[in-house]
Chain A
Amino acid sequence: MATPTGARLAAAAVSIVLHGAVATVVLHAADPGPPPPPPPSIDVWLAPAPPVRAASVRSRTAGVVRQADRPAPPRPAVRASAADSAGPAPAPAGQEPVAAPPAPDLAPSAPPQRAQAATATDGFDAYARLVWAQIDRRRPRSGVRAGSAQVSFRLDRAGRLTGLRLAASSGSSEFDRAALRAVRAAAPFPRPPDDVDDARLEFRIAIRSPSA
């Protein structure tokens, strides 16, 4: 009907179409150009590069992570022997290096790998890094602002999770649960070095909720 209402509706329809067109253009324009040249060399230790995450794509914004919460940056960098073959991906020029790729959703049950270890201590260090990296790749995504959930867990000689418990609450039961699940989702882990004491296969990790 040719009333102000009809006109308004028509205007609305036009607006929607225009908006959609703008959104399409904008999104298209946002496509990154050709890959930039390799970055200045910064070594980052890594677990063997897993396949790209297929599902639950995470959004990562720099603002999520507070610099102050971080351990000191690597100088000199440490390179895990296991990472040598895979190596870190090149980062965009003048920007940040690329860190561990996201978790292998497709291969959480990948066959356990032997940590490449020469001695008990070196081997266990490398192994602990692998365990940490595997959990980090499954870190929770949460809207909860709380503290750190302290999670204890135990692995068997095959790298399987045999014990999981919350040692201290983050304050939020919801985030605590997300933290426990994150560690479980990271399992199974690679097979630990043969010469490591059982006691050292009991781990403890703090999982911090997103910063305010």
Chain B
Amino acid sequence: MFPCTSRRAALSAGAALFVLSAATAASAQSPTDLPPVQADAAPASEATPGPGAPARTVSGEVLSRRKAAGDDAVSMLVGEPGVAVQSGGGTTALPSVRGMTDDRMLVTVDGAETTAFCPNHMNPPGSYVLASAVESISLSPTLSPVSAGGDNIGGVIAIVTRGPVFATDGESLRTEGQASLNYRSVSDGGSASLRATAAGERYSLGLEGSWARGENYRSGYGRDVLSTVYETYDLAATLAARTAQGVVSLRAGRQFTPYQGFPNQRMDMTENASRFADLRYDGAYSWGDVSARASWRDVEHEMNFLSDKGGDMPMLSHGVDLGLAVAVTIPARGGVFGVGLDVRRTDLDDWWPPVAGSMMMGPDRYLNINNGRRDRTGLWAEWAGPVAPDWSVVAGVRLEQVETDAGDVQPYNWTGMMNAADAAAATAFNARDRHRTDEVADVTLLARWSPSEGTSLEVGYARKTRVPNLYERYAWGMGQMSMAMTSLAGDANAYVGDIDLRPETANNLGATLRLASPAANRALTVSLYHAEIEDYVDADPIGTFGPGASFVRLRFANHDAWMQGLEVSGRTDLWTIGGFAPASASASASWVRGENRDSGDALYHMAPLTARFTLEQPLGTWTAVAELELVGEKDRVSATRNEPVTDGYALLHLRTVWKPTDALRVDLGVENVFDEGYDLPLGGVSFGDFKAGGMVPPIDALPGPGRSVNVGLSLSF
């Protein structure tokens, strides 16, 4: 028996009276009116999610606070245990969750999947929505249910923008919107966004636009970090129609990035233009739920050098993603049974136009990926529900077939001495059959024991598979320069693909214990996990290059690997001052380690021990927040890739929020109060600075931002 409040009891009892009178008064012809039911508010962040639901969801107040500090959508998860990001440009960070980085995580925006169409992964899926447009972002690490998506071994990050709204009963026209502005001193930049909706009871039209820009940010070492400028625009419109069973919506829009510097890459983004359309239907019927979607995204991407790096070498990509997904869930055996079909077709062309006057880069265009194709078909079935008192399970199987292929390629020049290595590689590549078909199976099994309210123990196993991306399989250049253009890890090393690369398969094990006090004012969550990964896509060295042999030539290669780690987080209410909501303290810590079983080398981009302590004091319309971020030294690094060692550091952030009315919100914060100089553990190398400094080795790690005064303003109407 769970204790409830007197208000619920009052409601129940009052409802009884209501029913009695309503039912008695009801005529034989009219429907029976029941008294209203009041939904519960969403749980606090440390509360127990439902079986198979994301382990963490960031929305509301916490999300608003994080938006004040950055424009990148995926970075809105940073602060949750186990989450880090591999630095990219200002709005294009790559997720790294429990050591699983980049494509190992599936990132969806409103359910749609997108491919990173760039040999440096400058346009990952999370880059197609700016932080200001995010309504919620949720994370299902390593043990995500098969229904959440395939083609990943590290789990799923689901970014959701604001769904359609409609007029309520009696409202003829509903209009609403929000405007926000942010400024950050560290990059003398910020963002602006505007969203407006007009809706009747049946139809809804929403428009939104966001813009973000920043200059090179200044590090705590007191100097600008080169190649960190960025600017990007997003526009989207949503037209939705409501039926008695659900909503049909068409969302379409455009993203345009005129420039974005990449401090840890040899190249910069000099344009990324993308258009998308997303048609979906979500319906609830008496027998179950249906969801169906068709999505399309077209991406035109251009790399070259911005002024910090200098030079000219255009590299173009054109990619199209076409996706169809249908899922049906029905109540079954006391739980919910779901089946779904996902079909996705991806086309990619990557070519580098000849450079006028260059002996090396011409006279032909270099075809990096020609008619690249990656087609996925996935079929899944899943059941979730209770199996015994206090026990519930989620069990699912996903079968996927993934076909990849790429057409014949050509170097800049078939005969020139400077292109001899590429010409030989192209000849060998073209002589091979490059079509590959992989049939893979994923399984997720989760069991949760909930002996009492607030206490639960979840254990799970997930076998998850990712088929290599087109660059890992089909990047073919063996010349020093062409190899260096394929580089996904922010290490400025040079990579070549392997047509015979096998899919990587993770056997993920995990356990999570959640404890919460009955009044939900204290909570503790502890997670332990281990992953055995067969055929992990790592890389083997085949040479070095660059000044002082600073950089490594690598070939993508399958190796067995393991990762394991621990996450602890908790919160507690503290004191209460003068009738305000109680002050609270929260803390989290994450630790992860990963190793290549064949070489014994540490895996790349394993975040060091990280801890966060947050103190929050509400004072009526004001809330003051102090956060201490502690990051340990990263000394277990990948020797294969010359990964830089980074020192530990401690940062203090102070933030205050003022909400004088429901409609107005003002954020004022100082990040990195003491202007501490530090290097980002997952930042890779600072190639922009290295190049501007005349390429004198050794190359440094990428410094993090110094002190920033941030101001945010948001007005709802």
Contact = CB atoms under 8 A, between A and B. Distances in A.
Contacts of B454: 57, 59
A128 B168 contact: no
B33 A204 contact: yes
Contact of A181 (B48, B163, B289, B521): B289
Contacts of A207: 36-39
B517 A152 contact: no
A111 interface: no
Contacts of A206: 36-37
Interface stretch (B2-10, B91-99, B271-279, B540-548): B2-10
A87 to B, nearest CB: 11
Interface in B8-57: 8-20, 22-24, 26, 28-44, 47-48, 50-51
Most central of A161, A164, A165, A173 by chain B CB within 10 Å: A173
Contacts of B613: 15, 19
Q: Which 4 pairs of residues, A with B, have the shortest CB-CB distance?
A: A71-B14, A74-B13, A143-B42, A96-B6
B2 A52 contact: yes
Interface string B301-344: 00000000000000000000000000000010110000000000
B190 to A, nearest CB: 27
Contacts of A98: 1-4, 9
A72 to B, nearest CB: 5
A181 B284 contact: yes
Interface residues of B, number: 112
A45 B10 CA distance: 10
B399 interface: no
A12 B630 contact: yes
Interface in A93-128: 95-102, 105-109, 121, 124-125, 128
B9 A6 contact: no
Interface stretch (B114-122, B385-393, B470-478): B385-393
A5 B647 contact: yes
Interface of A: 1, 3, 5-6, 8-9, 11-13, 15-16, 19-20, 23-24, 26-27, 30, 32, 42-46, 51-65, 67, 69-74, 77-78, 80, 89, 91-92, 95-102, 105-109, 121, 124-125, 128-129, 131-133, 135-136, 139-143, 146-148, 150, 152-153, 161-182, 184-185, 187, 197, 199-212
B42 A148 contact: no
A26 B286 CA distance: 45
A102 B4 CA distance: 9
A105 B454 CA distance: 16
Given A55-B392, A141-B42, A165-B245, A60 B662 contact: no
A29 to B, nearest CB: 9
Interface in B547-598: 568, 570, 572, 587, 589
B632 A12 contact: yes
A150 B40 contact: no
B411 to A, nearest CB: 47
B401 interface: no
B20 A147 contact: no
A18 to B, nearest CB: 10
Contact of A165 (B244, B388, B523): B244
Contacts of B632: 9, 12
